[in-house]
């Protein structure tokens, strides 16, 4: 019965194969990902905590946030930048004839990108804030933990502050998300409640951070700069002056001359905090600003008014160097983005802003001479003739002079639109509703029944 023996051996073979299979089943069906790690292996020692911190900075410089849209759409919304491109979701931010109420809709994808970009950064910070204190690593010292935690608190404060600048009071999420149910049922906080949270985070950051040489990671100086700016927004003049003075008197920071030095060199002494981009992680904004003959999309340019102001020796001085022109088609473009490799930084806090904050605060505190001194310090660096006392002898004149100066000094930094709103000048200058806040993104309202819209929705 040869057949039977052969068939038996086949059955043996078959059952052996099934046995091997049963053993290998579990391994085969549980592959370990190679480009990701599970939640449990996220922040568990000093090295991974530092990597997670880098991840938070990466979110900060992503294209939904400081890398592009957070800045870009407010430029288009205000009056220094003109739109020369075709991208419809940017074009809608441009005011027809440069004045009047916006026709922006809540379904704008760039706006939705900013909302999610900022909340993603917050989630990064939340992970650090929750997990760094729990890391079981004897080599991870208290000082190192405080440094990372301080930066995480700062990043969260900056993120919520930027959310308030776009939308007012927002939903506060203070714990890392592990499941969609973690964020269910959260209602918007008021603007005041949001500020309370921001200030609480900033005092955590202030108590943990020290002054460090770096300008591309947040240190105590960055915290002070944000406190000074928020105090200005909240009209807490004394606090704003205190913090601005701390920075101005800190010899780590100084105005560089000419103006162009701060953007032609990286991390100049002028810089309190700037976001670094590299050749491998290039700045997304560059593509949208650079002329086509230099390989960009050229969708935005400096408008005639700001170009005139920058180039005028009486107003712009050496700041005119910011206006560049392409060789062949003579297209005017933003000098920040001069690097062919597109590794231009984004400037979050410069010492010039602290001078102008203090100038504004001192004017409000009836210290017009001190105010003018600060203003002229900034003008002097730009080789613009100093303003005389006669043009600076009332609060109104002073505030107008400061507004004008800020417009030029921060021609393509993200201040103009927010400055006009906080000084109730939106209506007069842009024809917009005085307290205009962006509409809450429609896709978020659709997904979250607890999220209330804004008047502009």
Residues 225-284, interacting with another protein (CB under 8 A): 276, 278-281
The nearest distance, CB 57 to another protein, in angstroms, is 4
102 near another protein (CB under 8 A): no
By the rule CB under 8 A, 96 interacts with another protein:
yes
- Cα separation of 394 and 410, whole Å? 24
Give the closest residue to 124 by CA, choosing from 166, 154, 167. Answer: 154
Interaction residues for another protein, span 7-46 (CB under 8 A): 7, 10, 14, 17-18, 21, 24-25, 28-31, 33-39, 41-43
In sequence order, which ranges of 139-236 are alpha helices (DSSP H)? 142-167, 191-208, 220-233
5 counts as binding another protein under rule CB under 8 A:
no
Write down the least CB distance from residue 270 to another protein, Å: 19
Candidates 379, 372, 369, 371; CA nearest to 408 is: 379
**Residue 52: CB minimum distance to another protein, A:** 5
Choose which of 123, 245, 303, 423 interacts with another protein (CB under 8 A): 123
Which H/E stretch holds residue 35?
A: none
Binds another protein by CB under 8 A, chosen from 66, 72, 115, 263? 115
Question: If you ran DSSP here, which 8-state letter would residue 24 be given?
Answer: H
CA dihedral 224, 225, 229, 230 (to 10 degrees): -40
Written as six digits, the tokens of 284 are 């997304």
By CB under 8 A, is residue 124 in contact with another protein?
yes
Alpha-carbon gap, residue 351 to 175, rounded angstroms = 33
| Minimum distance, C-beta of residue 129 to another protein, in the bound complex (Å) | 13
Please work out the total of residues on this chain that contact another protein, with binding judged by CB under 8 A.
92
Residues 420, 418: Cα–Cα separation, whole Å: 5
Decide if residue 182 touches another protein (CB under 8 A).
yes
Q: Does 301 sit near another protein (CB under 8 A)?
A: no
Determine phi and psi for 158, rounding to 5 degrees. -60, -40
SS3 of 372-392: HHHHHHHHHHCCCCCCCHHHH
Q: Any contact of residue 295 with another protein (CB under 8 A)?
A: yes
Min dist CB 61 to another protein, Å, is 7
Shortest Å, Cβ 358 to another protein: 30
366 binds another protein (CB under 8 A): no
Q: Is 403 in the site for another protein (CB under 8 A)?
A: no
């Amino acid at each position: 019965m040869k057949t039977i023996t052969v068939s038996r051996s086949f059955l043996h073979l078959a059952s052996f194969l099934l046995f091997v299979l049963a053993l290998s089943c579990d391994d085969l069906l549980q592959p370990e990902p190679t480009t990701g790690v599970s939640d449990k292996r996220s922040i568990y020692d000093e090295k991974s905590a530092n990597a997670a911190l880098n991840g938070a900075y990466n979110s900060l410089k992503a294209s939904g946030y400081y890398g592009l849209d957070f800045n870009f759409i407010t430029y288009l919304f205000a009056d220094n930048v003109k739109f020369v491109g075709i991208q419809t979701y940017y074009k809608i931010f441009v005011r027809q004839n440069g004045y009047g109420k916006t026709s922006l809709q809540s379904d704008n994808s760039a706006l939705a990108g900013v909302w999610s970009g900022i909340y993603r950064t917050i989630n990064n910070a939340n992970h650090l804030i929750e997990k760094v204190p729990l890391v079981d690593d004897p080599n991870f010292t208290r000082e190192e933990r405080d440094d990372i935690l301080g930066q995480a608190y700062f990043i969260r404060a900056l993120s919520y502050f930027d959310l308030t600048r776009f939308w007012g009071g927002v939903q506060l999420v203070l714990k890392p998300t592990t499941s969609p149910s973690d964020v269910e049922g959260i209602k918007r906080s008021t603007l005041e409640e949001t500020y309370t949270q921001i200030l609480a985070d900033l005092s955590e950051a202030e108590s943990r951070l020290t002054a460090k040489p770096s300008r591309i990671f947040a240190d105590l100086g960055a915290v002070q700069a944000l406190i000074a700016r928020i105090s200005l927004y909240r009209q807490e003049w004394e606090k704003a002056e205190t913090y601005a003075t701390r920075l101005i008197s800190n010899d780590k920071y100084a105005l560089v001359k000419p103006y162009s030095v701060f953007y032609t060199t990286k991390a100049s002494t002028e810089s309190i905090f700037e976001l670094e981009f590299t050749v491998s992680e290039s700045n997304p904004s560059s593509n949208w600003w650079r002329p086509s003959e230099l390989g960009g999309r050229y969708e935005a340019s400096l408008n005639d008014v700001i170009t005139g102001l920058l180039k005028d020796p009486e107003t712009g001085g050496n700041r005119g160097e910011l206006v560049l022109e392409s060789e062949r088609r003579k297209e005017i473009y933003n000098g920040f983005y001069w690097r062919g490799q597109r590794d231009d930084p984004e400037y979050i806090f410069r010492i010039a802003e602290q001078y102008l904050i203090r100038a504004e605060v001192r004017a409000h505190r009836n210290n017009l001479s001190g105010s003018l001194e600060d203003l002229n310090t900034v003008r002097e660096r730009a080789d613009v003739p100093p303003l005389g006392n006669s043009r600076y002898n009332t609060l109104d004149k002073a505030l107008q002079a400061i507004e004008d100066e800020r417009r030029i000094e921060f021609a393509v930094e993200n201040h103009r639109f927010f400055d006009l709103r906080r000084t109730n000048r939106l209506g007069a200058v842009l024809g917009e509703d005085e307290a205009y806040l962006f509409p809450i993104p429609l896709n978020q309202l659709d997904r979250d029944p607890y999220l209330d819209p804004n008047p502009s929705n």
